[in-house]
Amino acid sequence: MRHEPIAQRAEHLNHRYRNHAAISVMELALRDHDVGQTALVSSFGAESVVLLHMVSVLDPDLPVLFIDTQMLFMETLTYQKDVADKLGLTNIQTIRADPAAVEFDDPDGTLHQFNTDACCALRKTIPLERALAPYDAWITGRKRFQSGTRAELPFFEPETDTRLKINPLAMWGREDVEDYIINNRLPRHPLVAKGYPSIGCAPCTSPVKPGEDPRAGRWRGSQKTECGIHFVNGKPVRIGKEDAA
């Protein structure tokens, strides 16, 4: 791996792969020495199966970090097992919060009712940051169409001084995701058909009405606007609903 500033390395990688398609970016990045040890982070949510399928084709033993907040829908837990089996993914690593931390900060499981940011930090952000510590890069499902702030989202971006984020689907539109799922006959999360186009923890996710933003059902009725699983300089950053992975 080059010994150069992470931002410069990301710039070189973006130049190298600027004309490549999503699965080509994935394939080349997984063996590029300038990228290093890589994991996929997956929520096994509504659109997660696209990247999971690509990984199954390219490297079914790639580490897939699945964050189990222990407040997920039962449908998500079942879907995670079904997709892993169907696609032959052999290295699913389930990430959970430290039991002692949960016992101290949320002993009765009600933290989300009065401090959603603290609950996400406890059950999602901190466990993920700990799990990502050994890796040089991680793959996300972020896309340019999801918000104006992502209009220039690159394939590779620096996250910390030592770690990259890889966004293979950066150039995809909503229709590309749909076409990929249909053309590859991939299983859909069962809650999508019940009006959940964006799926998080059960207490903080509700169905979306026709015409509403796809993420309107996340933290409905609260001021919370971010999931908080992305980092800048090793710290969680405030990510808007439209920006969340």
The dihedrals phi and psi of 138, each to the nearest 5 degrees, come to -140, 150
The H-or-E segment that residue 13 falls in is helix 6-16
Please spell the DSSP secondary structure of 154-168, one letter per residue: -SEEE-SSS-EEE-T
Return the number of other C-beta atoms located less than 10 Å from residue 77's C-beta. 15
Cα–Cα distance, 150 to 155 (Å, whole number)? 11
Give the residue numbers marked as catalytic: 227
1-11: burial string, b at 16+ Cβ within 10 Å, e else: eeeeebeebbb
Q: Angle 174-183/49-58 helices, nearest 10 degrees?
A: 60
Helices marked H in 88-205 — which ranges? Answer: 99-105, 111-114, 116-120, 126-132, 174-183
Measure the CA–CA gap between 56 and 220, rounded to whole angstroms. Answer: 34
Contacts of residue 8, defined as CB under 8 A and 6 or more positions apart, other chains included, come to none
**CA nearest 208: which of 179, 183, 241, 231?**
241
Structure-block tokens of residue 40:
């996929």
